[in-house]
Amino acid sequence: MNSNIVKKIINLSLNCSGYEFINGVIETVSNGTNGSFCFLGILKDAEADIVMGCMAHQGAITRESFEYCMTDQPCRLIYDDQTLSIPCDVHKDFLRKNGSGLESFIGFPIKHPKKGILAHFASYHQDQNQYDDLSPDCVEMIQSLLAREVNTMLDEFRLDQIKQNADEWRQAALVDPLTKAMNRRALSSDWEQMLQGEDCSGSLAVIDIDFFKKINDSLGHDVGDLCLQIMPDVFGALAKDGAFTFYRLGGEEFCVLAPNMNQGELRDRLKETQSALAAQLKDHKTLPVFTFSAGVSSFDRASLSDILREADEKLYEAKRNGRNLVV
């Protein structure tokens, strides 16, 4: 565990900085400790114990630029300049954690050379003894590299500027740069947020531009890019009521997430979009006429990967049956 984490974090330190480095570190530690919850928090209000931070779980960033109160958590003791390692029963002396199932904890302060402790790193895991293999040298290295980046940021910006920049970075990280549609990361984030609500049923569609490779091969990638870029515009025009959100999954593949909409309703909306796309391309001076196929699946508190797989199977059924279809 130690060597893999150390190698990855050193590589991160050589190739990125700022928010990218910080997020990379907590993703790496989360992944290297069997999917633990990892936090990095910057102290925003010492009197109220308010921290602004980001979180990774199962090796991926799940929450960015959010605020929380740490009064009843082990994290609070870190600001008394303690490096804590609790192998089991993390909730024993912290009532807020009672019954949470979080058993192991490790955390350390991040110090500014002139201003003292301004931030902290913390990691929880549901199983016991999950951080036994993290050597003191490994922890010290992570602590040192994170301190370097956090201190640089705090020296360059006021805390409110950091929050604004983090919000802007978060938004940029959720948007596909070519099409300006929301990306797969945004879909995962929206899905997790939806699951926290009382009603999380609806429909999802996977969409694919027909014969896209032929467009690229015959007309060039510039034209192919323009075809991709028109897709969010066409779908956006039919989603002004907020009934669904449009995402680019990658390549020529897109997705529509429609909470509270059944399969029939989403299929009808997609067929309307096919007609709208055909009308827009009919007299277009730059773009060729092209179509898309779609597969629709319904969900009710299922996993995102399962729903995407089911919708993908229906998409390929549409492809096999002639394309320009919604199944």
How big is the chain, counted in residues?
327
d(CA 24, CA 321): 44
Instruction: Tell me the angle at which helices 159-173 and 136-156 cross, rounded to the nearest 10 degrees.
Output: 110
d(CA 27, CA 100): 22
Strand partners, 292: 209
Q: What is the largest distance, in Å, between two alpha-carbon atoms of the chain? A: 70
Pairing of strands 116-125, 37-45: antiparallel
The amino acid sitting at 175 is V
Contacts of 115 (CB under 8 A, 6+ apart): 154
Six-digit token string for 103: 């058993």
Of 64, 103, 149, 252, the catalytic one is: 252
d(CA 170, CA 288): 35
What 3-state class would DSSP assign to 198?
coil
| Active-site annotation holds for 252 | yes
143 close to 112: Cβ distance less than 8 angstroms? no
Strand partners, 208: 253, 293
Catalytic residue list: 252
